[in-house]
Chains A and B, each alone.
Chain A
Amino acid sequence: MTETGASSHRVAGTDKDVLVKVENLQKYFPVQTTSLFRRNHDQVHAVDGVTLEVRRGETLGPVGETGCGKSTLARCIARLCDVSAGRVIFDGRDITGLTPRQMRPLRREMQIIFQDPYGSLNPRRRVGSIIGDPFALHGIADGAERKRKVQEVMELVGLKPEHFNRFPAEFSGGQRQRIGVARALALRPKLIICDEPVSALDVSIQAQIINLLVDLQREFNLTYIFIAHDLSVVRHVSDRVAVMYLGKVAELAPAEDLYQVPRHPYSNALLSAVPVPDPKKSSDRHQIILIGDVPSPIDPPAGCRFHPRCPKAQERCATEEPALASVLGDSAEHVTACHFPVEKGEDLSNTSRVSVPPSGSQTT
């Protein structure tokens, strides 16, 4: 069920250009519901057979609803959790089975920026020691040398180096996120995983942090995996976007391609749900309202994961799982896992299974 044509979208570019390669990655979480006499071993299929590559210097943006597995994917790549099946190859090295101890030296090369700038900084530690941690943990600098390096990084991300001795509680949300960025950047990693780095911030602050991240990427040739659920943010920062649904990649394409010609019906629905800040335009457009909820990842639907909610679904979708491949004459870069991809200009909101929305309402 997870063959998904592992190599079908292996596109131009040698392995030298690839920093992270994920092959058929699966991550199941056991759910134990113990009743008196029996124990159910259900599993949440958080990530279920994802194959993709992250190229050096690019920004890959996994998008999707809550629970589609994008954060789990990131945590598996960073090896913060074990992988159920499949392989993660980082910088030419298979890191799938490495123990935490073996991972340690590799932590210098991949870092994470977390979503919640309040939860990701230890409230009992001073900013200097939080940002100094990477240096201390990897034995890179000590004492005055470390302090100097920390202050350098602080300046780089737009913090005042004099605030070295302050506590996280004395900073605003945006400043705290800068601390998180500084910590991730301290060792100049090759890969930074941004796990919804701006979702918890004010819109005005979001722009600052995003611009900071973009500038830093340019300056240090960083590779980002940029997770977000705000599609306009993703469009702005990503080179390529991976639309995920229920633990699988539904569509993977260069950002502009995806926003111009989304092929997967789910991508179409997702894009049509982006709020338009103009009420007139908003009432004119055709919003695709999906019926029902996301099925339980404990027992995902057979065939195409999306078929129970898909306006274009046919019998074949319920039995045969579509593989990622370029469709309808798209470039090899643009791959879609759908039997009946959406043509350009096709209006899904008129399909029989979809109710025409009252203007301005959101997708459910």
Chain B
Amino acid sequence: MSLSPGDIVAIEKVGVSAGVPPPEGAAATVIEGRSPWRLAYERLRRDRASMISLGVIVLIILVAIFAPVVAAITGHGVYEQFRTTGLSPDGLPVSPSSHFLLGTDDQGRDILVRVAYGARISLIVGVVATLLEVVIGTVLGLAAGYFGKVVDTVIARVIDIVLSIPFLLFAISLVSISHPSLTIVIVVIGIFGWAAVARVVRGQVLSLREKEYIEAARALGAGPWRIMFIDILPNIVAPIIVYTTLLIPVTIVIEASLSYLGVGVPPPTADWGTMISGAQQVYQQAWWYLLFPSAALLITTVAFNIFGDGLRDALDPRAEQIYK
């Protein structure tokens, strides 16, 4: 039996921690493997832009969660119209002041409160619709890539068809047939968004399924489902996570666009897209009505995009080589 230098170090560490009461994890770290996730996390933590954008995202989430608190502090309900204090004598929105920090809209409602509530809609749609897309896309992409043959042909054609449908036109007509609602918006976005995810996943699976460890799994007697979800999926989770993070801002913008066009979340629900649309009538007199919801939308999408980029750098296997 020969010992590698690593083994000797390991033994020394064990010896040390055996004498002293082991500080939690000291002995464990010797044995504990450094998982690819841990390495990625350590890289991510060193990336300043990612950490700042993550902070911004957390902040937006907090604002969304505590929107009622914002309403309570200002004393302005989200649907409350302040016809006397919130509108100027000739019926125009009032500018930012100590009373209305971000001004009011054309109905005399507090923009600060409504932007805060709008974050809820954007995040809910952004996250739920994206998850829907990713789940459908991943399952179908896995099936297409792993089973191949007929399954692949059918799924690949469906992907092509879905990707070639003009999304906005279709969404507008679909939503206007049924009653516009939050659920409809999420479902519509989900139906159209999965195809891009499926295509990415399928490509990854096609290359992974030729790996020897997949053959090893088959030689051990693993069935197709186990191979897809236990052997292949963990290897494509990283690109899926990156893709998801970059898809969230896209979804948020799509939701805002639908609302802007009047086929999204119906008023009087506070929504950034609806607010931007409403501001169009009066923005020359009330710049704050247009600026603040737009800025909220911009900051949110930029934060997600920068964070997604950082995640990609952190999870990129080529970057991993450097730190090995």
Contacts and interface: CB of A to CB of B under 8 A. Distances in A.
Contacts of B32: 165-166
Interface stretch (B90-98, B128-136, B196-204, B216-224): B216-224
Interface stretch (B33-41, B143-151, B269-277): B33-41
Given A80-B215, A119-B212, A103 B234 contact: no
Contact of A120 (B30, B34, B35, B212): B212
Given A124-B234, A158-B1, A134 B33 contact: no
A137 B226 contact: yes
Nearest to A170: B33
A112 B216 contact: yes
Contacts of B216: 112, 114, 120-121, 180, 183
B34 A119 contact: no
A170 B217 CA distance: 21
A122 B232 CA distance: 9
A116 interface: yes
B152 to A, nearest CB: 16
Given A124-B234, A126-B33, A164-B31, A119 B213 contact: yes
A107 B220 contact: yes
Interface in A96-113: 100-101, 103-105, 107-108, 111-112
A167 B219 contact: no
Contact of B220 (A105, A134, A169): A134
Nearest to B214: A122
A5 interface: no
Contacts, number: 85
Contacts of B34: 167, 170
Given A116-B212, A119-B213, A124-B235, A80 B221 contact: no
Contacts of B226: 137
B211 A119 contact: yes
A125 B214 CA distance: 12
The 9 lowest CB-CB distance pairs between A and B, nearest first, are A107-B221, A166-B33, A119-B212, A124-B234, A120-B212, A104-B221, A122-B213, A167-B33, A112-B219
A138 interface: yes
Contact of B36 (A101, A103, A124, A180): A124
Interface residues of B, number: 29
A137 B221 contact: yes
A163 interface: yes
Nearest to A186: B220
B157 interface: no
Contacts of A137: 220-222, 226
Interface in B263-318: none
B31 A133 contact: no
Contacts of B211: 119
B321 to A, nearest CB: 10
Contacts of B219: 78, 80, 107, 111-112
B220 A183 contact: yes
A123 B235 contact: yes
Nearest to A103: B221
Nearest to B35: A167
Interface of B: 1, 4, 7, 10, 30-36, 211-213, 215-223, 226, 231, 234-235, 237, 324
B1 to A, nearest CB: 7
A291 to B, nearest CB: 35
A41 interface: no
A133 B217 CA distance: 8
Contact of B221 (A120, A138, A162, A180): A138
Contacts of B217: 122, 133
Contacts of A285: none
- Which of A124, A163, A172 has the most B CB atoms < 10 Å from its CB? A124
Given A126-B33, A170-B34, 5 more contacts: A107-B221, A114-B212, A120-B215, A127-B33, A163-B33
A189 to B, nearest CB: 10
B138 to A, nearest CB: 16
A218 interface: no
Contacts of B222: 133, 137
A80 to B, nearest CB: 6
B204 to A, nearest CB: 13
Contacts of A114: 212, 215-216
B231 A122 contact: yes
B235 A122 contact: yes
A104 B4 CA distance: 38
A160 interface: yes
B128 to A, nearest CB: 27
Nearest to B7: A160
30 contacts: A78-B219, A80-B215, A80-B219, A100-B218, A103-B221, A104-B223, A105-B221, A111-B219, A111-B220, A115-B212, A119-B211, A119-B213, A120-B213, A120-B215, A121-B213, A121-B216, A122-B235, A124-B36, A124-B237, A133-B217, A133-B220, A133-B222, A162-B31, A165-B32, A165-B33, A166-B33, A167-B33, A170-B33, A172-B4, A180-B216
A99 to B, nearest CB: 11
Interface in A167-201: 167, 169-170, 172, 180, 183
B221 to A, nearest CB: 3
A134 B213 CA distance: 13
A119 B212 CA distance: 5
